[in-house]
Chain A
Amino acid sequence: MSEFIQYTLQGLAAGGFYALSALGLAVIFGVLGVVNFSHGACYMLGAVLSAVLLAELNVGFWAALVIVPILMFGFGVLMERLLVRWLLELDPLYNFLLTFGLTLVIVEAVKQRYGVSGLPYQVPAGLGGQVSVGSVNLSVYAIFACLFSVVVCVAVGLLLTKTRIGMIVRAATEAPDRTRALGINVGLWVTPVFGFGIALAGLAGVLAAPTRAITAEMGSNFIIILFAVVVIGGLGSILGAVVAGFLVGLVEAYGIAYAPTYAQIVIFVLMAIVVLVRPSGLFGREEVA
């Protein structure tokens, strides 16, 4: 039984992290209708930036949690202003391909500059060690990463649903013409929302840095799991991304525990079942494009 609890806790810890990582993807899709394939590359940039800030400017983990999302926000703003904006009117496929191409450029650029073996990063002081209750152990860092992720997800959810800014953003994207008629500059809101989604990817990268290999390719496989999370949760649904994040984390942990070879397959089997039963995902809205 204690083993089962152990696996469950590990699944939940991983799930929180998946939820945060998928959140930016869900925000950008939910608000702008852009499927951002470069989300994995931006997650990688977040982790690489943390490592570079530490190595070259001696900026630690806590500062990186603030600085890196700000830098990534700037990067997202540039991406939106220079590239994504021009394709917004077209079929989502165009922006998907654009961000896919960007991913290749970003990954190769990082390889050129920082090589392929990866960069070192340690667990920040105070978050090392484990918490043990009986025979159940969980690393302090995993607990921190999970709780931090949940807090960020809840905050983002509240921001979009309960505040005036959130209301404007949702109105601007769901009914741009009517929103414009009410005297709101719709174009002005698109850029920061995209930047915000990219900043969330960067934040997930910072959170990953102490516990995962920081390499140019770290986002390449991860993005596939994140797509599974947003598809299961319902594209664009923030609540969906969070619930699906935990679901995927749990399914993966049980998979590893009881059928290790199939640990990753079960995630995609789950995705296939959800899509078959509810094509719009667990929390997605059926909408007409």
Chain B
Amino acid sequence: MRSRTVQGTVAIAATASLALAACGGAGGPQSGGSSKLTDDKLVIGLLNDQSGVYKDLSGPNSKVAIEMAIEDYKAKYGDKAVAKDIEVVTADHQNKADIANSKAQEMYDRQKADIILDVPNSAAALAVATQAKNKKKLYINIGAGTTALTGASCNKYTFHWAYNTSVLARGTAGTITKAGGKKWNIVYPDYAFGQDMNKSFTKEITTAGGTVGQSIASPFPSDNFATFITKAGEGDPDVIGSMHAGGDLINFVKQFNQSSLKGKVQLAVGLMFITDIHSLGVDQFAGTQFTDAWYWNFDAQNKKWADRFKEKTNTRPSFAHAANYSAAMNYLEAVQEAGTDDADTIVGKLEGKKINDVFLRNGEIRKADHAVIHDVYLAKVKSSAPEEWDYEDIEKTIPASEAYGEANPACSMS
């Protein structure tokens, strides 16, 4: 009965792989010595994906970005700096909400983190928001897209810095539909993020006067999209919207480019990062439109920061790196202004603050829902890259108020 033994073995191994995937690594606590601050030092926790699909988007290089902020803060205030001893601790949440939850607890309680930054992946992001609320400690989310952070799950200690799914939908779906792409078919991955994106896009397309013929759910993850693409091409749409991310997105675009729809139907991508263009090659994505929260080669200010980043990491920054820098810098400024690391005082300093820095243009930390609104950009992928990482033409700056709309009515702070 060799075959039966083997089938049992397959089941054991599948279970083992799940168990192994659930184990993780973490940073450790250290010591310090200063004043006015609890434990005499400031601890910034960076909780993100250090080994999986979002590693290149944010990952370990976000620590470099945060350290750049610390460097700038110290250079700016010198001896007058309230926080003289600043430590960055990092942990890998492996894109799992339960791990994010326990790591956040560990950071706040044992490592004495005053703030947690980043946390891509919506489920993980929401788990950490609950911890921040319970522990009354600061949390600035950067990498996650869910609107729940500034909606039903919003709280006093949670801020959402870079983007959200409704910003992407307004930017991409709204702009393309208004420009004449009226008939859409959408393919989305069948999990929380994909379903959310499908809803946001459908709403924006309809508002802008377009129609969505079909919304097709694909299993996640998926390798073979050929038939999904055929199905999405039925009914002669003007635009096919892919709401996939990471490896699924690359599979989708590669197979779309090999299909008969290439050149006939426009491809719009819901969530795309510069790291995706880098991995697939600029020519494969050429002409694809998407909304970007920040682009390193947009203007001289961004470029200067990106050059500094490149010296340290040998790569160009994604929007998430710049946003981690911006969030850390503004947090440190708030500590400086308040003269303390007390979370409630810092929240008071941050709320309503208007900011213009390397990441935020016309930025404002909206008091009502803690969305950090700022100008975002409709980008179009270049047909060839003048230099490595120079992949985007910014077609349009979408003003903060248009991109973010009204404060989320689902949010109640108290």
> Are A and B interaction partners?
yes
Bound-complex Cα distance A102 to B53 (A)? 21
Q: Are A117 and B258 in contact (CB under 8 A)?
A: no
Return B258 CB to nearest CB of chain A, in Å: 4
Return B55 CB to nearest CB of chain A, in Å: 5
Bound-complex Cα distance A97 to B15 (A)? 12
Chain B residues close to A by CB (< 8 Å): 1-7, 9-10, 12-14, 16-17, 20, 51-53, 55-57, 190, 216-219, 221-224, 226-228, 230-231, 234, 246-251, 254-255, 257-260, 275-276, 278-281, 283-284
Residue in A115, A119, A128, A235 whose beta carbon sits within 8 Å of that of B6 in the complex: A235
Query: Taking CB as reference atom, which chain A residue is nearest B273?
Result: A117
Residue in B9, B52, B227, B279 whose beta carbon sits within 8 Å of that of A119 in the complex: B279
What are 10 sample pairs from A and B whose C-beta atoms fall under 8 A apart? Answer: A7-B230, A91-B5, A104-B20, A115-B55, A117-B276, A123-B258, A137-B230, A142-B258, A284-B3, A289-B1
For the complex of A and B, the 9 pairs showing the least CB-CB separation, nearest first, are A120-B281, A213-B250, A118-B279, A137-B260, A117-B279, A289-B2, A139-B258, A256-B227, A213-B247
Bound-complex Cα distance A234 to B284 (A)? 39
Q: Is the interface of B mostly helix, strand, loop or mixed?
A: helix
Query: How many residues does chain A have at the interface if contact means C-beta atoms less than 8 Å apart?
Result: 68
Return A185 CB to nearest CB of chain B, in Å: 25
- Binary contact readout A1-12 vs B (1 if CB under 8 angstroms, 0 otherwise): 001001100110
From known contacts A35-B6, A261-B219, infer whether A10 and B51 are also in contact, taking CB-CB under 8 Å. Answer: no
Taking A213-B247, A217-B247 as given, write out 9 further A-B residue pairs in contact, using a Cβ cutoff of 8 Å, ordered by the A residue number.
Answer: A111-B55, A116-B52, A117-B278, A211-B258, A212-B251, A217-B53, A252-B224, A261-B190, A289-B5
Query: Taking CB as reference atom, which chain B residue is nearest A132?
Result: B260
Q: Are B247 and A118 in contact (CB under 8 A)?
A: yes
- Binary contact readout A183-218 vs B (1 if CB under 8 angstroms, 0 otherwise): 000000000000000000000000000111101011
Q: Are B7 and A275 in contact (CB under 8 A)?
A: yes
Verify if A253 is at the interface (C-beta below 8 Å from B).
Answer: yes
Q: Are B12 and A235 in contact (CB under 8 A)?
A: no
Verify if A75 is at the interface (C-beta below 8 Å from B).
Answer: no
Contacts of B13 in A (CB 8 A): 37, 96-97, 100
Bound-complex Cα distance A260 to B257 (A)? 21
Return B390 CB to nearest CB of chain A, in Å: 15
Q: Are B6 and A264 in contact (CB under 8 A)?
A: no
Chain A residues close to B by CB (< 8 Å): 3, 6-7, 10-11, 13-14, 29, 33, 35, 37, 91-93, 96-97, 100, 104, 108, 111, 115-123, 128, 130, 132, 137, 139, 141-142, 210-213, 215, 217-218, 221-222, 224-225, 227, 231, 234-235, 252-253, 256-257, 260-261, 263-265, 275, 279-281, 284, 287-289
Query: Taking CB as reference atom, which chain A residue is nearest B230?
Result: A6
Q: Are A116 and B227 in contact (CB under 8 A)?
A: no
Q: Are B9 and A221 in contact (CB under 8 A)?
A: no
Bound-complex Cα distance A225 to B222 (A)? 11
Q: Are B7 and A231 in contact (CB under 8 A)?
A: yes
Q: Are A139 and B217 in contact (CB under 8 A)?
A: no
From known contacts A235-B3, A257-B231, infer whether A118 and B258 are also in contact, taking CB-CB under 8 Å. Answer: no
Contacts of B278 in A (CB 8 A): 117
Q: Are B260 and A116 in contact (CB under 8 A)?
A: no
Contacts of B248 in A (CB 8 A): 213
Bound-complex Cα distance A278 to B227 (A)? 30
Return B167 CB to nearest CB of chain A, in Å: 23
Return A150 CB to nearest CB of chain B, in Å: 18
Q: Are B219 and A264 in contact (CB under 8 A)?
A: yes
Q: Are B2 and A222 in contact (CB under 8 A)?
A: no
Q: Are B223 and A221 in contact (CB under 8 A)?
A: yes
Query: Taking CB as reference atom, which chain B residue is nearest A121?
Result: B281
Question: How many A-B pairs fall under 8 Å by CB?
Answer: 159
Bound-complex Cα distance A256 to B252 (A)? 14
Bound-complex Cα distance A227 to B11 (A)? 11
Query: Taking CB as reference atom, which chain A residue is nearest B217?
Result: A261
Contacts of B255 in A (CB 8 A): 139, 211
Contacts of A108 in B (CB 8 A): 51
Query: Taking CB as reference atom, which chain A residue is nearest B281?
Result: A120
Return B208 CB to nearest CB of chain A, in Å: 26
Residue in B4, B226, B228 whose beta carbon sits within 8 Å of that of A260 in the complex: B228
Query: Taking CB as reference atom, which chain B residue is nearest A275?
Result: B7
Contacts of A264 in B (CB 8 A): 219, 222
Q: Are B6 and A92 in contact (CB under 8 A)?
A: yes
Bound-complex Cα distance A287 to B20 (A)? 33
From known contacts A116-B51, A117-B276, A217-B247, infer whether A227 and B223 are also in contact, taking CB-CB under 8 Å. Answer: no
Bound-complex Cα distance A132 to B227 (A)? 15
Q: Are A3 and B234 in contact (CB under 8 A)?
A: yes
Return A284 CB to nearest CB of chain B, in Å: 6
Contacts of B227 in A (CB 8 A): 7, 10-11, 252-253, 256-257
Q: Are B218 and A260 in contact (CB under 8 A)?
A: yes
Bound-complex Cα distance A141 to B272 (A)? 26
Q: Are B217 and A93 in contact (CB under 8 A)?
A: no
Bound-complex Cα distance A46 to B9 (A)? 26
Q: Are B2 and A287 in contact (CB under 8 A)?
A: yes
Q: Are B4 and A279 in contact (CB under 8 A)?
A: yes
Query: Taking CB as reference atom, which chain A residue is nearest B13?
Result: A100
Q: Are A256 and B231 in contact (CB under 8 A)?
A: yes
Bound-complex Cα distance A128 to B103 (A)? 47
Residue in A14, A211, A225, A280 whose beta carbon sits within 8 Å of that of B254 in the complex: A211
Return B264 CB to nearest CB of chain A, in Å: 11
Contacts of B230 in A (CB 8 A): 3, 6-7, 10, 137
Contacts of A256 in B (CB 8 A): 218, 227-228, 231
Contacts of A212 in B (CB 8 A): 223, 250-251, 254
Bound-complex Cα distance A219 to B227 (A)? 21
Contacts of B275 in A (CB 8 A): 117
Residue in A29, A33, A130, A231 whose beta carbon sits within 8 Å of that of B259 in the complex: A130
Return A146 CB to nearest CB of chain B, in Å: 11
Residue in B226, B279, B280, B281 whose beta carbon sits within 8 Å of that of A14 in the complex: B226
Contacts of B12 in A (CB 8 A): 93, 96
Query: Taking CB as reference atom, which chain B residue is nearest A263?
Result: B219
The residue in A13, A35, A279 that gathers the most chain B C-beta atoms within 10 A of its C-beta is A35
Q: Are B284 and A116 in contact (CB under 8 A)?
A: no
From known contacts A142-B258, A213-B251, A235-B3, infer whether A115 and B56 are also in contact, taking CB-CB under 8 Å. Answer: yes
Contacts of B190 in A (CB 8 A): 261
Q: Are A213 and B217 in contact (CB under 8 A)?
A: no
